[in-house]
Structure 1
């Protein structure tokens, strides 16, 4: 589920508006001010990827995020680790940069899987 910059910005808008948004509102809220046709193209692409739903309301479509932000972040983290040539080194470096809160969350998640750090 790799997202490009514009896809990510659009998803961020939709995550902030769980009741949905019209393409025109999405475009107006983006800092880069892309053309409405560009936003519509990206919304259709996100819909085909299964990340966004679209419901006809009058002559327009209402777009809603159907995947949670946490799921997209988790997938990005997994994909980044898949790119590592030395996964152990990558994980060690990552763990060395996280806050105590994130470290606690990692310990809790591993504990829930029945795994304990050695």
Structure 2
């Protein structure tokens, strides 16, 4: 078994699982156009190998999170969804997996800052009035 410190950025300098994917997605979301692997590499902190970035881009593409566009001898990548939509999809997926939706939502709301709580109230107030899908 490997040392847990390796997975969490310990002495070996390895990143936690998912951290590279998150960094790559953040770089792509911040870009105004599709990026090549080299362009993504230039936007990421730390010393990463070009092949590592290619692997992450390929995995994200295989998961359906990125689309590829041919550029020269390689590809440029862009996210399928914007950051807000991707985050909402993940939140909804987590909610669906829970066995007690009320408890999960209650805990989520109780952890919100006052500002986020006001924003959520405002959004729900505006949405409820126009929603006519039986939910």
Shorter-chain TM band? 0.7 to 0.9
Contact kept? 1:52, 1:63, Cα under 8 Å = yes
Contact kept? 1:22, 1:60, Cα under 8 Å = yes
List alignment gaps of at least 5 residues for structure 2. 1-16
Which has the larger Rg? 2
Query: Once structures 1 and 2 are overlaid, which stretch shifts more, 67-76 or 91-100?
Result: 91-100
Query: Which gives a bigger RCO, structure 1 or 2 (Cα 8 Å, sep 6+)?
Result: 1
Between the aligned partners of 1:102 and 1:88, the Cα distance in structure 2 is: 19
Q: How large is the Cα RMSD of the aligned pairs? A: 2.3
Match of 1:82 in 2: 96
Match of 2:55 in 1: 41
Query: Once structures 1 and 2 are overlaid, which stretch shifts more, 62-71 or 97-106?
Result: 97-106
Query: Once structures 1 and 2 are overlaid, which stretch shifts more, 58-67 or 25-34?
Result: 25-34
Between the aligned partners of 2:88 and 2:97, the Cα distance in structure 1 is: 15
List alignment gaps of at least 5 residues for structure 1. none
Give the total of aligned pairs: 113
TM-score, length of structure 2 as denominator length: 0.69
